[in-house]
Chain A
């Protein structure tokens, strides 16, 4: 077990940083504007991230597995470490970075290193989704903005009561956002370990009610790492996000969080995909997407709905830059670290 934990440590570290940073995307405005207290937000976030990871985490993880089936534990450790290092360095250099994009880059680095063939179909699916997800998030935000504005126009609710309703709505959207974050982004944290480590866990059943398999136990650990990140480090980030970057009102914050959560959920829910497929409807690919970019997309959507006054082209430029820079840097880091782990530490990485 100790060996597994040592090898999982890089993934757990990645989970911790995801909890510290990405939870702020979901809860930042609610906590920053003091509509929801930090402790309440952290607790709800942790519970729902873990639930999302364990219940709906497999879909997006499966796509990552297709991109690169990392068959050795040391390889998975190195790939997650390379992604974590890339995220760390890029954050330090104040470059926009996404865990999803870093892990994909790191996997590609492993593909190059191990000489595996890159599944181009999976890769194009992932790249297409990255471009599409902020756009979809913006579209959802526009629709929700007009819907909420319409409801508020005709609903004679007192400002004080509306405040109470907004708090509940923010809490609900936050819980949904956390679930979607867990479901979609657990693949970044633990996806690379599925092939090599899931088999090391023993399946068990809880009171004959449901089975918990190895992958779910792995995802549970990842979810806990995210939760630890939320409790230990996200408060500062949440207050920064809430205090000024987006300048949203509590109601627009709710729309932004809900839009982004819907998008994350669409790209994570296998159940929803199955329903759409069974009705011959176009379904969404299950791919880990960036929650930050999804949030920014939703904020841009709100800006467009308000008449384009808040549209910041620099932000769009930064997002597009991130699509290219992050995976390339992560792939390069992954290649170098894999070389070191294999040749210096004599570990089999593929």
Chain B
């Protein structure tokens, strides 16, 4: 009975992490479609990520309820819930960025298209590595450090690309309109925010991992 309960929660945690990974992939593909002018396909992706986000909320609540009701992992319960809750910020950010694109429809100059695609890829990779680190936290603690190093690497890459986009936008080569420049900067910052959120979770995970070592 103990192991049936464990199996059910393990399944929920795996599903939750899978959803976070899926959200990063939808984020990457959806934004690529937006930058390539495929507005309709992008809107479908936005709906997909919204569904995924609310489904993940349900799973997270279920895990929380079960962990407390069944009094499981008393020593690591707070850490596990902390991890899952901060990971929720990641999927929230991915959803929020896509909704902002859908509402505000920023003009992305063709000269900046590749940079924006590169930025979305770096942010999505950051999340994917965070998911790998989290899986390792649950099953293979010695592998956490490798994945966390990759999270930090991609976050740093995202920062560099974000700065490059802002410099280009404000150089005046594409537009003299300040509102357009600010709009471009804002969206570069938003996409990069996903990587920042992932890094915040990674920092927590680093501590949780030290605490988990016997």
Contact = CB atoms under 8 A, between A and B. Distances in A.
Task: Indicate the size class of the contact surface on chain B.
Answer: 20 to 34
Interface stretch (A16-24, A100-108, A161-169, A316-324): A161-169
A249 interface: yes
A250 B74 contact: yes
A33 B75 CA distance: 7
Contacts of A149: 214
Interface in A100-154: 145, 148-149, 152-153
B74 A168 contact: no
B10 to A, nearest CB: 5
A28 B85 CA distance: 32
**Majority secondary structure of chain A interface residues (helix, strand, loop or mixed):** helix
B72 interface: yes
Contact of B214 (A156, A159, A249): A249
A336 interface: no
A157 interface: yes
Nearest to B80: A159
A158 B75 contact: no
A167 B140 CA distance: 20
A215 B58 CA distance: 62
Contacts of B10: 158, 160-161
B75 A161 contact: no
Nearest to B4: A164
Contact of A168 (B2, B9, B72, B73): B2
A94 B9 CA distance: 45
A156 B72 CA distance: 19
A160 B2 CA distance: 10
A34 B141 CA distance: 24
Contacts of B214: 145, 148-149, 152, 249, 251-252
B71 interface: yes
B200 to A, nearest CB: 21
Contacts, number: 53
Interface in B1-34: 2-3, 5-7, 9-10, 13
Interface centre among B3, B73, B80, B212, by most chain A C-beta atoms within 10 angstroms, is B73
A269 B28 CA distance: 66
B171 interface: no
B71 A158 contact: no
Contacts of A33: 74-75
Nearest to B5: A164
B139 A157 contact: yes
A160 B75 contact: no
A35 interface: yes
A167 B2 CA distance: 10
Interface string A230-255: 00000000000000000001111000
Nearest to B143: A156
Contact of A160 (B73, B74, B140, B212): B73
Contacts of A158: 6, 10, 138-139
B133 to A, nearest CB: 14
A164 B67 CA distance: 12
B139 A160 contact: no
Contact of A159 (B7, B71, B73, B74): B73
A145 B212 CA distance: 14
A301 to B, nearest CB: 13
Contact of A164 (B2, B140, B141, B142): B2
Contacts of A164: 2-3, 5-6
B138 A159 contact: yes
Interface string B74-86: 1110001000000
Contacts of B5: 164
Interface in A27-59: 33-35
Interface centre among A34, A35, A158, A167, by most chain B C-beta atoms within 10 angstroms, is A158
B116 interface: no
Contacts of B142: 153
A161 B73 contact: no
A251 B72 CA distance: 14
A159 B137 contact: yes
Q: Nearest 6 A-B pairs (CB), nearest first?
A: A164-B2, A163-B73, A160-B6, A161-B6, A251-B214, A159-B138
10 contacts: A149-B214, A158-B138, A160-B9, A160-B73, A161-B3, A163-B6, A163-B72, A163-B73, A249-B214, A251-B214
Interface of A: 33-35, 145, 148-149, 152-153, 156-161, 163-164, 167-168, 249-252
Given A159-B76, A160-B72, A161-B6, 20 more contacts: A34-B71, A34-B74, A35-B74, A145-B214, A152-B141, A152-B214, A156-B139, A158-B138, A158-B139, A159-B137, A160-B13, A160-B73, A163-B73, A164-B3, A164-B5, A249-B75, A249-B214, A250-B74, A250-B75, A252-B214
